[in-house]
Structure 1
Amino acid sequence: MAQTLKTPQGRTLAYHLTHGRGPCVVFLGGLKSDMQGTKAVFLEEWARREGRAFLRFDYSGHGESSGDFTDGCIGDWAQDTLAAVTALTKGKIVPVGSSMGGWQSLLLCRAMPERIAGLVTIAAAPDFTEDGYWASFTDAQKQRLETEGRVELPSDYMEPYIITRRMIEDGREQLVLRSALDLPFPVRFLQGTADTAVSVATAVKLLEHATGPDMQLQLVKDADHRFSDDRCLGLMQASLQEVLDKAADA
């Protein structure tokens, strides 16, 4: 059964914390995903076997946490992430960010660089509210967003997304690809070539934009956005282990 944490903003987050040695691995899920997802549970089981500290949680408006999804935005979920990491972990951490969680992990790296020992992302989607949603909206959709405050978008992976004007406007305050993004620790970006939600071009753009001494992008042919078959889970685990080993040697 999940435990709960009250954030400084008054939101209630559900979480599972596995105690063990550090650095603590922190799983950051995607948009409308939750901490019961395949990748989060797989890594938790791995962490338990390894005696490794591990945290998974639901952003507000997601899973078992309080609030409605349509009331949230990137900045709210960044506050949630910061609150969970601050209250529930100590010392160095290694975020593992999936999709929108990849964006959240980059915001976390900016917010507390002194706490980050390394980083793994899976199909990271930085700046997607601007470069994905807003950039692809028709004039009619932009008008609807202005007048009605929301538009509905189909998804290849779940029920339609309700995109609010607040999410778009707040997203512009959270962009990470428009200014310096220094990641001075081991970083592994993982990306499937059959991903219809996040393009290979987005992964390459992130790799080229960010700076750091040990950064790699690994493309997996025919892997989709879920990145959850045995091959992909094994690669995620291996990449995380590599980052942890390098962090231990630093």
Structure 2
Amino acid sequence: MSAFLTTPQGRRIAYVQTAGQGPGVVFLGGFMSDMTGTKAIHLQDWAERRGRAFLRLDYSGHGQSSGAFEDGCIGDWVEDAMAVIEARTEGPQVLVGSSMGGWIALQIARAWPARVKGLVGIAAAPDFTEDSMWAGFSAAQRQALMEQGRIVIPSDYSEGGYPITRRLIEEGRQRLVLRAPLPLPFPVRLLQGTADTDVPPAVALRLMDHADCADLRLTLVKGADHRFSTPACLAMIAAAVEEVSV
């Protein structure tokens, strides 16, 4: 059963929390996904079996939380996650970020390094609004976005495609983490499938090269796609959380 928290910005955020020992584990989901996905539920089951505290949430405009998806942007979703973490957890947490959630986890880590015990990125997608979306748009798409305020791009995960707004792109430029120093003073594990066409391995390699981290490991899984949800992949996620929790 979900609980709800109203953020300082007035957004009503749904979350599920299970009690246990620290460091707690926080799952941060991807773009236009919700907290009921395979990875989130598997990690909650894993945490419960081991007596670990666990938290998952829906950003505004996602899942059970308030707001329309099109009204949101990266900064809003970072604020949502930080508000729930601040209100519902104590002490350092292990952040597990899937796709866009990896970017959000890196921003939280940059803002609150003392609250992060470790970080696990699953096909982490830092700066994707700029480096994947904007960079990949045609001249016509860019023009339509700037003039009309939104376009819809096709997606394998949503029948109607993804609505992309001018605000999402422009606000995302204020959130980039690969253009400035990125100190990560805690263990980091990056998990990446070689068959991921949404966030290719080159992104993980760029993040690994850019981050200032004394204990960072990247694991490439041959044939794994963006979902990274096979039993073997799910076991790797749990093992990575164990590693960075020590």
TM-score (norm 1): 0.97
Q: Which amino acid in structure 2 is aligned with residue 83 of structure 1?
A: A
CA–CA distance in structure 1, aligned partners of residues 156 and 16 of structure 2: 28
CA–CA distance in structure 1, aligned partners of residues 194 and 162 of structure 2: 23
Corresponding residue for 1:193?
A: 194
CA–CA distance in structure 1, aligned partners of residues 90 and 183 of structure 2: 22
Displacement, 1:147?
Answer: 1.1
Q: Which amino acid in structure 1 is aligned with residue 194 of structure 2?
A: T
CA–CA distance in structure 2, aligned partners of residues 84 and 221 of structure 1: 35
SS of match in other structure, 1:134: helix
CA–CA distance in structure 2, aligned partners of residues 158 and 230 of structure 1: 24
Displacement, 1:172?
Answer: 0.1
Q: Structure 2 matches for 1:161-240, cutoff 5 A? A: 161-240=162-241
CA–CA distance in structure 2, aligned partners of residues 157 and 64 of structure 1: 18
- Deviations for 1:106-139, whole angstroms, at most 9, x for unmatched residues? 0000111111111101000000000001001111
Does residue 46 of the first structure (1) align with residue 74 of the second (2)?
no
CA–CA distance in structure 1, aligned partners of residues 220 and 156 of structure 2: 20
Displacement, 1:103?
Answer: 0.1
- Deviations for 1:149-177, whole angstroms, at most 9, x for unmatched residues? 01111112333111000000000000000
- Deviations for 1:212-241, whole angstroms, at most 9, x for unmatched residues? 110000000000000001010011111111
SS of match in other structure, 2:117: coil
Corresponding residue for 2:135?
A: 135
Q: Which amino acid in structure 2 is aligned with residue 60 of structure 1?
A: S
CA–CA distance in structure 2, aligned partners of residues 199 and 49 of structure 1: 33
Displacement, 1:24?
Answer: 0.7
- Deviations for 1:155-210, whole angstroms, at most 9, x for unmatched residues? 12333111000000000000000000011111000000011100100110000000
Q: Percent identity?
A: 60
CA–CA distance in structure 1, aligned partners of residues 209 and 156 of structure 2: 28
Q: Which amino acid in structure 2 is aligned with residue 87 of structure 1?
A: A
Structure 1 residue ranges (4+ consecutive) displaced by more than 3 angstroms after TM superposition: none
Corresponding residue for 2:113?
A: 113
CA–CA distance in structure 2, aligned partners of residues 100 and 177 of structure 1: 14
CA–CA distance in structure 2, aligned partners of residues 22 and 115 of structure 1: 12
- Structure 2 residue runs without a partner (length 5+): none
CA–CA distance in structure 1, aligned partners of residues 78 and 45 of structure 2: 25
Corresponding residue for 1:37?
A: 37
Q: Which amino acid in structure 1 is aligned with residue 79 of structure 2?
A: Q
Q: Which amino acid in structure 2 is aligned with residue 172 of structure 1?
A: R
CA–CA distance in structure 2, aligned partners of residues 158 and 11 of structure 1: 24
Q: Which amino acid in structure 2 is aligned with residue 9 of structure 1?
A: Q
SS of match in other structure, 1:117: strand
CA–CA distance in structure 1, aligned partners of residues 101 and 242 of structure 2: 19
TM-score (norm 2): 0.98
Q: Which amino acid in structure 2 is aligned with residue 94 of structure 1?
A: V
CA–CA distance in structure 2, aligned partners of residues 225 and 126 of structure 1: 15
CA–CA distance in structure 1, aligned partners of residues 77 and 95 of structure 2: 15
SS of match in other structure, 2:59: coil
- Deviations for 1:75-99, whole angstroms, at most 9, x for unmatched residues? 0001001101100101010100000
When the two structures are aligned, how many residues end up with a matched partner?
245
Q: Which amino acid in structure 2 is aligned with residue 45 of structure 1?
A: D
Does residue 56 of the first structure (1) align with residue 56 of the second (2)?
yes
SS of match in other structure, 1:45: helix
